[in-house]
Structure 1
Amino acid sequence: MSKREKQAIGQQILAAFRAAGAEEVAPDLLLPAETLLDLYGEDIRARAYVTQDPIRGEVMLRPDFTVPVVQMHMQNGAEPARYCYLGEVFRKQDQGELQPEHPRDNEYLQAGFELFARDAEADAEVFALFHSLLAPLGLRASMGDMDLLMDAVRALPLSGARRAALLHHIWRPRRFARLLARFSGQPEPRNFSQPIAPWSGLRGREEMQRRIDRLQADAGELPLPAIWVARLERLFAIDAPAPEALRQLRELAAEIPDISEAVERLGRNLALLAARGIDTDGIRFDASHGRHTMEYYDGMTFSFVAEGHADWPPVATGGRYDALAAVLGQGRAIPAVGGIIRPGLVHELGGLA
């Protein structure tokens, strides 16, 4: 497949986004590494290309469009605002020790749409736009809600430090599971002997002492009751057609009242989608859906996947990222939701009608 063919599909998608009221923007290809590292921590290095510029310092090849679009909007954008874009992003692919038969591209084209608005229908608007545009491809639509999961974690009868640790790793399911197992057991006492060697390393003495104090305080924590672990696992395991998932979530909200608001918001979003002519029975709600995406999503998430192509990434993904907009806004905040489509995969499926 040639780049010209991918670009043609990308331009078709871009035209649809412009028709939906979006202004086309073109963020920089090289982004300051400091901003991305502050947002995602050192883990971003495992999937981004990092290089050194003699004047700008450490920079990254654009791993995603959302961060630069949010920065641009927060500097001079009015609200509400809709933006669209088309261009390459660059991601390292963790292939393990064996080279796969069909490796994913490290550089690929993205077409995207971002909406900044305080409109209660924004989630439904963006999902419906992608659903309508991709309808000719017969993709499987899935959605989730990260706020639902985070509200459940915040409801756990744990110390603030333990809840913060779980929330920090909620996008890393294996680490999260290990932490949850540790917090459910009896903590082992920690003994830190006074070192006789000179202090050395990248972390300062005060920072290390704070870490030691936290670990010692953690040893006095009571284990998380098994019933709360079971409730959380039931929540993470919900995966059903959206109306059935909503029914299961409402039942679970009787045991975890803190998720009630997020559950009812899901109900409203499904009603709004139905009002736009979308069959919500055809949407899969997977409670753990957003846990395998970039860490900035904190509300609704969605994806459109090609059936019969298990080795492909999603053709389209997106979601709500209010917290990211607040962080990058440096005191300003506006709700934001958006998504991207991979024109290359759309072309391989035969293109749009």
Structure 2
Amino acid sequence: MSKREKQAIGQQILSAFRAAGAEEVAPDILLEAETLLDLYGEDIRARAYVTQDPIRGEMMLRPDFTVPVVQMHMANGAEPARYCYLGEVFRKQDHGETRPDHPRDNEYLQAGFELFARDPDADAEVFALFHQILAPLRLQASMGDMDLLMDAVRALPLSGARRAALLHHIWRPKRFARLLARFSAPTLTRSFPESDAPWTGLRSPDEMQARIDRLRTDAAEAPLAPQWVERLERLFTIRAPAPEALRQLRALAAEIPDIAEAVDRLERNLSALAARGIDVEAIHFDASHGRHTMEYYDGMTFSFAAAGHEDWPPVASGGRYDALAAVLGQARGRSIPAVGGVIRPGLVHELGGFE
């Protein structure tokens, strides 16, 4: 497949985004690594290409478009605003010592749409736009909601430190499961005997003492009751057509009242999609869907996948990222809700395009 063919598909998608009122933008390819590391954490190093500049310091080839688009909007954007773009992103896809039989591209084309608006119908607008563009490909639409999961974690009767640790690892299911198991069992007693020996190590004495104090406090905390673990596991494993998932979530909200607001929002989104002519019965809701997306999504998440190509990434994906927009706008005293997504023109071409 030639780059020209991918670009042609990308231009078709871009035209549809422009027709939906989006302004086309072209963010930089080389970005300051510090900002991305602050937002994503050090885990991004395993997926991004990092280089050193003698003047600008550590730089990173663009791993996605969302951060530079948000930065651009916060600098001079009006409200509401719709942006679209087409360009390459760069990510390390394959890990290990041997090259896989079917390697994924480390450089690939993305066409994207980002909406900055306080309109409660924004989630439905973006999902419906992607649904309309991708309709000829007959893809499977899936949906989740990270706020639903985070509200459930915030409701756990745990210390603030333990809840923060679980929230930090909610996008890393294996680490999250290990932490949840540890917090559900009695804490092993650890001894920190007094000593006249000098402090040694990379951390300062104050930092090490603070760490010891946190461990002592954690050791005194009671384990999480089994019913809370069971409720959380039931929530994380809800997978069903969207209306049925809504029914299950409504029942679970009786046991976890803190998720009721997120469940109400899901119901409004589904009603808004149905009003736009979308068959919500055909949308697959997976409560854990957002745990496998970019870590900045903190509300609705969605993806469109090709049947029979389970080894492919989604043809399109996106979601809401209010917290990211708030963090990047903080220096300018700005904050606005945001939702967006991307389509991979290369995968659209492999499926035969839109014809």
* TM-score, reference length from structure 2: 0.97
* Residue of structure 2 in register with 1:138 after alignment: 138
CA distance in 1, matches of 2:136, 2:326: 36
* Residue of structure 2 in register with 1:51 after alignment: 51
CA distance in 1, matches of 2:205, 2:345: 51
Unaligned runs of 5+ in 2: none
CA distance in 2, matches of 1:309, 1:196: 61
Once the 2 structures are TM-superposed, how far is the Cα of residue 16 of structure 1 from its aligned partner?
Answer: 0.4
Once the 2 structures are TM-superposed, how far is the Cα of residue 345 of structure 1 from its aligned partner?
Answer: 0.2
Pairing of 1:83-162 with structure 2 (within 5 A) = 83-162=83-162
Segment of structure 1 superposing worse, 172-181 or 206-215: 206-215
CA distance in 1, matches of 2:155, 2:267: 21
- Cα shift readout 1:84-123 (whole Å, capped 9, x = no counterpart): 0000001112433443210111110000000000001000
CA distance in 1, matches of 2:119, 2:100: 44
The alignment partner of 2:187 has SS state of coil
- Cα shift readout 1:279-299 (whole Å, capped 9, x = no counterpart): 000000000000011110000
Matched, 1:336 2:342: no
* Residue of structure 2 in register with 1:223 after alignment: 223
CA distance in 1, matches of 2:209, 2:198: 16
CA distance in 1, matches of 2:175, 2:113: 32
- Cα shift readout 1:292-347 (whole Å, capped 9, x = no counterpart): 11110000000000000111000000000000000000132100000000000000
Once the 2 structures are TM-superposed, how far is the Cα of residue 273 of structure 1 from its aligned partner?
Answer: 0.2
* Residue of structure 2 in register with 1:184 after alignment: 184
* Residue of structure 2 in register with 1:310 after alignment: 310
The alignment partner of 1:127 has SS state of helix
Equivalent pairs counted in the alignment come to 352
* Residue of structure 1 in register with 2:353 after alignment: 351
Counterpart of 2:147, as a letter, is D
Counterpart of 1:269, as a letter, is N
Pairing of 1:70-81 with structure 2 (within 5 A) = 70-81=70-81
The alignment partner of 1:120 has SS state of coil
- Cα shift readout 1:162-188 (whole Å, capped 9, x = no counterpart): 000000100110000000000000001
* Residue of structure 2 in register with 1:18 after alignment: 18
Counterpart of 2:35, as a letter, is T
Distance 1:51 1:251, change over 3 A: same
The alignment partner of 1:110 has SS state of strand
CA distance in 1, matches of 2:145, 2:176: 17
Once the 2 structures are TM-superposed, how far is the Cα of residue 189 of structure 1 from its aligned partner?
Answer: 1.6
CA distance in 1, matches of 2:222, 2:71: 42
Once the 2 structures are TM-superposed, how far is the Cα of residue 200 of structure 1 from its aligned partner?
Answer: 3.0
CA distance in 2, matches of 1:336, 1:259: 21
The alignment partner of 2:41 has SS state of helix
CA distance in 1, matches of 2:94, 2:258: 37
Distance 1:184 1:20, change over 3 A: same
Counterpart of 1:109, as a letter, is L
Unaligned runs of 5+ in 1: none
CA distance in 1, matches of 2:97, 2:227: 39
CA distance in 2, matches of 1:104, 1:236: 29
* Residue of structure 1 in register with 2:256 after alignment: 256
The alignment partner of 1:329 has SS state of helix
Once the 2 structures are TM-superposed, how far is the Cα of residue 352 of structure 1 from its aligned partner?
Answer: 1.2
* Residue of structure 2 in register with 1:210 after alignment: 210
Counterpart of 1:263, as a letter, is V
CA distance in 2, matches of 1:350, 1:171: 33
CA distance in 2, matches of 1:101, 1:197: 54
Distance 1:293 1:195, change over 3 A: farther
* Residue of structure 2 in register with 1:67 after alignment: 67
Pairing of 1:258-337 with structure 2 (within 5 A) = 258-330=258-330, 331-337=333-339
* Residue of structure 1 in register with 2:82 after alignment: 82
Once the 2 structures are TM-superposed, how far is the Cα of residue 221 of structure 1 from its aligned partner?
Answer: 0.5
Counterpart of 1:70, as a letter, is V
CA distance in 2, matches of 1:164, 1:94: 31
- Cα shift readout 1:187-231 (whole Å, capped 9, x = no counterpart): 012223558466232x43333332222112100010000000000
Counterpart of 1:160, as a letter, is G
* Residue of structure 2 in register with 1:240 after alignment: 240
The alignment partner of 1:281 has SS state of helix
CA distance in 1, matches of 2:200, 2:47: 33
The alignment partner of 2:232 has SS state of helix
Percent same amino acid among aligned pairs? 82
Counterpart of 2:340, as a letter, is G
Counterpart of 1:238, as a letter, is I
The alignment partner of 1:222 has SS state of coil
CA distance in 2, matches of 1:206, 1:42: 24
Counterpart of 2:275, as a letter, is A
> Does structure 1 retain, via aligned residues, the 8 Å contact 2:329–2:335?
yes
Alpha carbon RMSD of aligned pairs, Å? Answer: 1.2
CA distance in 1, matches of 2:122, 2:204: 45
* TM-score, reference length from structure 1: 0.97
CA distance in 2, matches of 1:195, 1:335: 54
CA distance in 2, matches of 1:61, 1:257: 43
CA distance in 2, matches of 1:97, 1:234: 38
Matched, 1:30 2:30: yes
